[in-house]
Amino acid sequence: MSNSYTPTSYKDRVVVITGGSTGIGLETARLFAADGARVALLARRAEPLAAAADQLASTGAEILTFAVDVTDESQVAATCSAIEAKWGRIDLLVNNAGTGFATDLSKASLADFRRIMETNVTGVFLCVRAALPGMKERKAGHIINVSSVVGKVANPNAPLYCASKHALNGYTSGLQQQVAADKIRVSLVSPSAVDTDYWAGRPVDRSKFLQPAEVAAAIRFIAAQPEGVLIKDLDLTALR
């Protein structure tokens, strides 16, 4: 019996990434495209998506882009159907789309609450629900949800964002258990602060933050595990 480690190859596999036009999503797409995967990028705005596709063109990989709001049930369903019609399946779904901002709970509006919860939790629910039937039918697939260390220990600055990540963690744990018998892997990656547009306009020193490419490398590492191995949750922090 061999004890050698054989990473999962993503050549010709179908990878779907939400929030795929910038930051962690784009860097993740870059890695999988370089592996020879077929990559579908989902994001709200068409222009950044087009720019992302241009950046990935040098890899020679097949790239699809979809301007889609992950909180819109019909848009998500139509997008996943289009991907499966084009490429036959979804092998890996990376739920990276997210939003957050500082909130004072004594003043935060219901619109603030809904904006965060719908993107960070409802969006994941809708994307997973759309991709899961095909994965269950094939008895294969991997879902990676991008959470945060504040999904385990909250902070006082962005409590609604923290709450959304706590909810995502609970959802992910339940999903892991429900689909294990179908040979579908479900993983969570929980980084500390990452130098992305999440921090735009805030007076924060980002010099010691994780870089998007570092989180992308962790996502690729999780996906690269042999088919019978599941990394349930990977915490990341910067040592700078």
Q: Is residue 149 part of a domain?
A: yes
HSE at residue 240, side-chain half, CA atoms within 13 A, is 13
Per-residue pLDDT tens digits for 148-204:
999 999 999 999 999 999 999 999 999 999 999 999 999 999 999 998 887 777 788
Whether residue 116 lies inside any domain: the answer is yes
- Residue at 5 is within a domain: no
**50 lies in a domain?**
yes
Residue 8 in domain = no
Asked if residues 77 and 48 have their Cβ atoms less than 8 Å apart, the reply is no
- Check if the beta carbon of residue 16 is closer than 8 Å to that of residue 90: yes
Query: How many structural domains compose the chain?
Result: 1
| Residue 165 annotated as catalytic | yes
Q: Is 5 a catalytic residue?
A: no
Residue 154 contacts residue 162 (beta carbons within 8 Å): yes
Q: Give the separation between CA 169 and CA 133, rounded to whole angstroms.
A: 22
Q: Which residue in the list 10, 107, 139, 161 is annotated as catalytic? A: 161
Catalytic, out of 86, 136, 152, 165: 165
Give the pTM: 0.95
Domain that holds residue 56: 14-236
Pairwise CA distance, residues 107 & 233, whole Å: 33
Residue 2 lies in a domain: no
| H runs (alpha helix) in 70-158 | 73-87, 110-117, 123-138
Q: CATH number of the domain at 93, please.
A: 3.40.50.720
Tokens of 83: 């991907």
Q: Which two tokens stand for residue 152?
A: 């385990």
Q: How confident is the model over 9-65, as pLDDT tens digits?
A: 899 999 999 999 999 999 999 999 999 999 999 999 999 999 999 999 999 999 999
